[in-house]
Chains A and B, each alone.
Chain A
Amino acid sequence: GDSVTQMEGPVTLSEEAFLTINCTYTATGYPSLFWYVQYPGEGLQLLLKATKADDKGSNKGFEATYRKETTSFHLEKGSVQVSDSAVYFCALSDRSRSNYQLIWGAGTKLIIKP
C-alpha cells in the first residue's frame, strides 16, 4: 500500500542555517504530495503542496520539488528562523482513491536555536 517515510528527528539547527528534511514515498497511483506543519499548541496547517511530477511547492521560504524518478519530496529552506521550530509532516493523497485521504509520515521535529 501507499506509504510515506521521512527522516527522524529531532533536527536541531542554529538560526540562519540551511534546512533539509527528507521525505520519500511509495504509491501505486498518481499522488499529490504535501508538507504540513504543526506549531506548538496549534493544529496541522498546510505548508505547501505539489500535484504532479517536477512541480515545486513553495511557501514562507520553504520549498519542495516533486521528484517522481526518486519518489521524493524533500523540504528545504535556505535560512531558518527560531519561529520555524515545529513538527513537519510529509503526506500524500492518491487521486486514484476516491476519498482523497491523506497518508502521513511520522513527522520530524525541528528545533531552531538562536
Chain B
Amino acid sequence: GAGVSQTPSNKVTEKGKYVELRCDPISGHTALYWYRQSLGQGPEFLIYFQGTGAADDSGLPNDRFFAVRPEGSVSTLKIQRTERGDSAMYLCASSLRSNTEAFFGQGTRLTVV
C-alpha cells in the first residue's frame, strides 16, 4: 500500500495481558515515530526510530512499554502487563528523513478492560 498501515485497527485486551501493535511504514522511509493519543487530547510522543535503532525513547511512560524495528522497516510496539490507563489510540508515523513531512497511519485503538 501507499500509506502507513497499522494493525490491528482495534484491540481489546484484559488487564495484565501482553499486546503487540504493528506499524508498516511507507517504503523507503527511514524515520518512524510512535505516538499515543488519549480521548480529547493531542498525540504524545513515545519513541523515534532512525533506521533500526531507537534514537529517542524518552516518551515511553515506563518499562512495560518497548518497541522494536529490527530491519529498519516494520515496527512493533509491545506493552507488557497492560493496565486500564494504557487505553488510548496508538499512532505510528513515518517520514523519508527525520526533518521531512510525517505521514500517519489510522492508528490502533487499544482498550484494556
Contacts and interface: CB of A to CB of B under 8 A. Distances in A.
Interface of A: 4, 36, 41-46, 49, 89, 91, 95, 98-107
A102 B31 CA distance: 13
Q: Interface size for chain B: under 10, 10 to 19, 20 to 34, or 35 or more residues?
A: 20 to 34
A102 B45 contact: yes
Instruction: Report which residue of B43, B59, B93, B95 has the largest number of chain A beta carbons within 10 angstroms of its beta carbon.
Output: B43
Contacts of A99: 48, 55-56, 98
Interface in B37-95: 40-45, 48, 55-56, 59, 91, 93, 95
B48 A101 contact: yes
B106 to A, nearest CB: 4
- If over half of A's interface residues share one DSSP class (helix, strand or loop), that class is named, otherwise mixed; here it is loop
Contacts of B101: 46, 49
Contacts of A4: 42
B42 A104 contact: yes
Nearest to A104: B42
A104 B33 CA distance: 14
A108 to B, nearest CB: 10
A12 B41 CA distance: 19
Contact of B4 (A43, A89, A91): A43
Given A43-B105, A44-B91, A46-B101, A106 B41 contact: yes
A101 B34 CA distance: 10
A104 B44 contact: yes
Nearest to B107: A43
A45 B95 CA distance: 13
Given A43-B106, A45-B104, A95-B99, A101 B40 contact: no
Contacts of B55: 98-99
Contact of B102 (A41, A42, A102, A107): A102
Contacts of A43: 3-4, 91, 104-107
